[in-house]
Structure 1
């Protein structure tokens, strides 16, 4: 992971690459040393945590070498949550691709929360001022104990309300806050009560900090209601003042304005001229719907629309359709984590069945 961390700093990675540094991941490094791939091996599926990091010119080489490594290990390769450039590199290597989500990005150049479209954001900022709620930038190692205890309390209440384990894989929890390069932005009232918490991972390009990516989001259930709108707006304006280029609101897993459509379908002209939707459309829709009542990914994507972001498609690339059932089960287990309850065990089982049925298996 030390090599991966170095490559993420310089030459750099994608906006979501910092997640690849989380402790549960393994790391493959290209023979050239110019690229690395964070991944999870689950049930024989080697599921990448985003795309290769490092030299963009080494992407195609990294895709091919990593695939060879996986096949030599007797596994199934799957590049998960990758951008269009890596999707193209995967397709050149013989992979198929499908859209599995969207990253939402706020460009900071000239950003001003003005006009009717930003009404909700401005209302949150004005209400915070009126109710004496302010923002505090900190890091976990610097955060006072009284605030840490409140953050843990709010997070535990949020998790218990779901009735399922806290998700992982591309969604960080309390443990992922303890990183010296991850920034915390808190909403605090005049009495010292924490109403909302966000964490922001760095994005580097050639050693320079160019953006921040949202990960952890929690709000006190009975607290300042527009805490998230207030914190995201505050982060964007502060990052702009710091000279950064963008703030990413990350991706809502398996939620997209065009979920499951084959790559390139958006540009294929009128609907009647587009290729027939593959069985994978049904597969991903089933997976998304199975998770929505519990984790609300589509609701989260709709929430982020308040900030008028750009939408960047994310793809899953795979070699063989026959492996989709195994891949679906691996994705489910990656997100749900250790199956410790009957409810989560049933969810994982249901997702695997949905994926196989969705492909017609």
Structure 2
């Protein structure tokens, strides 16, 4: 992957679903000093950054327009073309996490060639990957898993990495999604990897190490989501985790985009993730549950966490409301 030059102008388009702008939101939260403004088309969400066009963003120091949104099928939308061309004309590079590559559109490709602007696609399959082999390897690895997709696995992984480092337990975030890769500046976008190589990609992302550093690996999908269970299983086998954290959005009435599939029971979900992980990591342990309580009142979050702790015998946190300390303490107690 080419390096993405900051500062950034974050493209929000006209999106109204918060999950559709999670890449832009992730950059604004975890790399705030490099986000100079946002570009929206009106009528959509805002991150509270100054609204700028590409020329204004360049004057403010921006170097890259980041297309930080999700679209149907991961494709470029027609409404995106004019802002992208304007960004290239203003002297910005353009970075995208969409499945469709920027240069697939001839208008973008030709304008980039004329202006010298770089087109940076995050979803590029890593080269030289091997299939996973499950050979036991040394090291401390933690994988976040979920009851569904988009429930906070990246968010939890980043906050947990920060909390471990603050506690003096060295940790590094290992990104597996386009947003995580943009935040970290490195990683492997797992959904761009051929299925046979997913576990091998996870092995390459978190190789054996003899020190005490924790590799906190960002999970993807869910074993209980029929659309994305394959990538979840590949990560479980390849990560060879010593510990798992289960992530959950309690406000979700059903699996995202699948109203005919209910959200799984937390205990059943955790037990299935542990069972699958034991293929390559027989001693794997669950160390906590992380919920996304953004749609709940703080008192309701506290009550839910208490109920989950009673049911599962594990610490339950909301990274924003309670912090990650109880899970860090459980990790420190691992044999």
Common fold by TM > 0.5:
no
Query: What TM-score does the superposition give when structure 1 sets the normalisation length?
Result: 0.31
Structure 1 or 2: larger helix share? Answer: 1
Query: What TM-score does the superposition give when structure 2 sets the normalisation length?
Result: 0.33
Structure 1 or 2: larger strand share? Answer: 1
Higher relative contact order (CA 8 A, sep 6+): 1
